[in-house]
Structure 1
Amino acid sequence: MKDSVSSAAILGGGNIGLAIANGLHNSNIFDVSKITITRRHVEQLNEYKEKGFNITSDNKLAVKNSEVIILAVQPRQLNDLLIEIKPELNPEKHLLVSVVSGASIKAIKKLVGDEIKVIRAMPNTAIAIRESMTCLAANSKTDKALEIAERIFSSVGKTIIIDEELMIPATALGACGIAFFMRAIRAASQGGIEIGFHSEEALFIAAQTAKGAATLLLDKKNHPETEVDKVTTPRGCTISGLNQMEHNGFSSALIKGIVTSAEKAAVLYKTE
């Protein structure tokens, strides 16, 4: 296949599919007129039609007019979709990028043919604002198709190439993780309300503080406890609060949540 691509189809205009569309729209890696979004009820995509996207319920037509095909349907819908578009797939033209939880490259190729290039990607909904953490996997880490996928997803956030066996854990930590951190920020804001802030003020302070904490780790590349040590003093208020959270199972609950999500992700897709 070519080293560069100019058109894309997002098959499945649900939450993650539309988040990807927004991210690609903002990244300028594709001309928006070269991006097609499909959904059964196209009237729900009027906002995207107004932005300049091509909108259709015809998956075959979308594939025919595109080079990168992003599979963004629910796991239970994937097999039927692959069977539907298989006649339109051209190994010299198309690259399939699956964001479907639990569906292996082998399982996808079994339905579309070994000659079709397939990459697995696991972004999160922050892709809409070009702040996704996207994990990528391929049969080979030197795969040209992987380079193309990396260029695309690097334009909408950060990427990391991992072994395919880690894609289900990546779903729990990176994709589900958005919700976990949102819940932590919400809890922090509720604590802020209880100690005197109005709800809008509390949420703003909590969200910006979380953003600052994450940025410190990413920029300085320190371990979290290195930064924790900088704000904990003997008999201080920070360590008192941290210890109370740990007594109530804060870290344990988060770890258990991630493990449970990974276990659930492992059984979402069925090959038959």
Structure 2
Amino acid sequence: MLKNKQVGFLGSGNMGEALIHGLLHSHLCRPEQILCSDVRPERLKAIREKYGVKGTSHNPEVVKQSDIIVLAVKPQIMKQVVEEVAKYLDLSKLIISIAAGVPLDAIESCARKELKLIRVMPNICVSVREGVSAIAGGKHASKEDLIAAKTIFDSVGKSIIIEEYLLDAVTGLSGSGPAYIFLIIDALADAGVKVGLSRSDALILASQTVLGAAKMLIETGEHPGKLKDMVTSPGGTAIAGLHTLEEGGLRTTLINAVEVATQRSKVLGEIIKNNLTNEKA
């Protein structure tokens, strides 16, 4: 799928580097197939030396030489970057944006032309190749383009293909989700300390428990309720703990957190869209 493609990254921050690492680690690309840009010379130097890829400070050079372009820049500078390279963009190039909150039509508006666009919402866990990403195709993106995007993001975890209007919900669940889980792990470790464990042991026990539970759920394909029932026994410790969690409203609180984060994502997306489309060139 990517064997003969040149892949360009506009922006070589944490997300850009994670994707470069994933592509190389999964042997989907060779270093010479990847060209990246960044405004920071020291960052480009570090990426080139670490991964053996090509680097430049000139965004147009990346676009001209690439078949697939990943827009890995902050939403605040998206307009500036797209306008800088717009003359080199056309429907022959697949453009993948990972800029949070930037809708596909806003990117086309900045470029003042129709483009072959895909928008992706990854999460921070791509940095350890265990992320999850949601992929939404624009009107000119073909099935093959979506498969190419999925191949890229599967190299850093798992990915799903959805409609663009659902990306705010994805942001509320999996985009913000690592923060929820970090809080839960921290709380579990605090609990371990309270009942006599050392902080280091409690953190290992809590984090590995979350990892193992997630892996068991994924690999068995069982409903989480069924797996929960496997842990609980009549009058046992797990059911006593679950009763306390339900009494404290954990389930409702998590549902509310996802819902509030989703609504906040919609508000921020509207602000970003208005800023992009209303700014004067």
The two structures share one fold, judged by TM-score above 0.5: yes
Contact 2:70 2:96 in 1 (8 A): yes
1:201 partner amino acid: D
CA deviation digits over 1:23-42, x for unaligned, max 9?
A: 22322211123323322222
What pairs with 1:91-130 in structure 2 (closer than 5 Å)?
A: 91-92=91-92, 94-130=93-129
Structure 1: runs of 5 or more not aligned: none
Aligned partners of 2:4, 2:154: CA distance in 1, in Å?
A: 15
Moved more, 103-112 or 218-227: 103-112
- Relative to structure 1, the CA distance from residue 109 to residue 186 in structure 2 (aligned partners, 3 Å threshold; closer, same or farther) is same
Aligned partners of 1:26, 1:259: CA distance in 2, in Å?
A: 36
2:37 partner amino acid: T
Given the alignment of the two structures, is residue 144 of structure 1 paired with residue 144 of structure 2, yes or no? yes
CA RMSD of superposed structures (Å): 2.2
- Relative to structure 1, the CA distance from residue 123 to residue 202 in structure 2 (aligned partners, 3 Å threshold; closer, same or farther) is same
Report the Cα offset of residue 214 of structure 1.
0.8
1:233 partner amino acid: S
CA deviation digits over 1:92-140, x for unaligned, max 9?
A: 2x21001112222222222335542101111222223332211111136
Aligned partners of 1:206, 1:46: CA distance in 2, in Å?
A: 38
Aligned partners of 1:143, 1:114: CA distance in 2, in Å?
A: 21
Give the TM-score normalised by the residue count of structure 2.
Answer: 0.87
Aligned length: 270
Match of 1:191 in 2: 191
Report the Cα offset of residue 147 of structure 1.
2.0
1:110 partner amino acid: S
Aligned partners of 1:223, 1:160: CA distance in 2, in Å?
A: 19
Report the Cα offset of residue 5 of structure 1.
4.7
Match of 2:46 in 1: 47
- Relative to structure 1, the CA distance from residue 152 to residue 5 in structure 2 (aligned partners, 3 Å threshold; closer, same or farther) is farther
Contact 2:19 2:155 in 1 (8 A): no
1:134 partner amino acid: S
What pairs with 1:166-185 in structure 2 (closer than 5 Å)?
A: 166-185=166-185
Match of 2:228 in 1: 228
Report the Cα offset of residue 211 of structure 1.
1.2
Aligned partners of 1:121, 1:36: CA distance in 2, in Å?
A: 20
Aligned partners of 2:142, 2:38: CA distance in 1, in Å?
A: 33
- Relative to structure 1, the CA distance from residue 89 to residue 126 in structure 2 (aligned partners, 3 Å threshold; closer, same or farther) is same
Aligned partners of 1:40, 1:261: CA distance in 2, in Å?
A: 31
CA deviation digits over 1:81-100, x for unaligned, max 9?
A: 111110122322x2100111
Report the Cα offset of residue 213 of structure 1.
0.8
Contact 2:116 2:138 in 1 (8 A): no
Report the Cα offset of residue 3 of structure 1.
7.9
Aligned partners of 1:21, 1:3: CA distance in 2, in Å?
A: 13
Secondary structure in 2 matching 1:222: coil
1:49 partner amino acid: R
1:246 partner amino acid: E
Report the Cα offset of residue 14 of structure 1.
2.5
Match of 2:215 in 1: 215
1:100 partner amino acid: A
- Relative to structure 1, the CA distance from residue 252 to residue 206 in structure 2 (aligned partners, 3 Å threshold; closer, same or farther) is same
Aligned partners of 1:5, 1:115: CA distance in 2, in Å?
A: 25
Given the alignment of the two structures, is residue 64 of structure 1 paired with residue 60 of structure 2, yes or no? no
- Relative to structure 1, the CA distance from residue 4 to residue 171 in structure 2 (aligned partners, 3 Å threshold; closer, same or farther) is farther
Given the alignment of the two structures, is residue 26 of structure 1 paired with residue 25 of structure 2, yes or no? yes
Match of 2:259 in 1: 259
Contact 1:26 1:130 in 2 (8 A): no
- Relative to structure 1, the CA distance from residue 229 to residue 153 in structure 2 (aligned partners, 3 Å threshold; closer, same or farther) is same
Contact 1:42 1:55 in 2 (8 A): no
Aligned partners of 1:46, 1:254: CA distance in 2, in Å?
A: 42
Match of 1:89 in 2: 89
- Identical counterparts, % of pairs: 33
Match of 1:239 in 2: 239
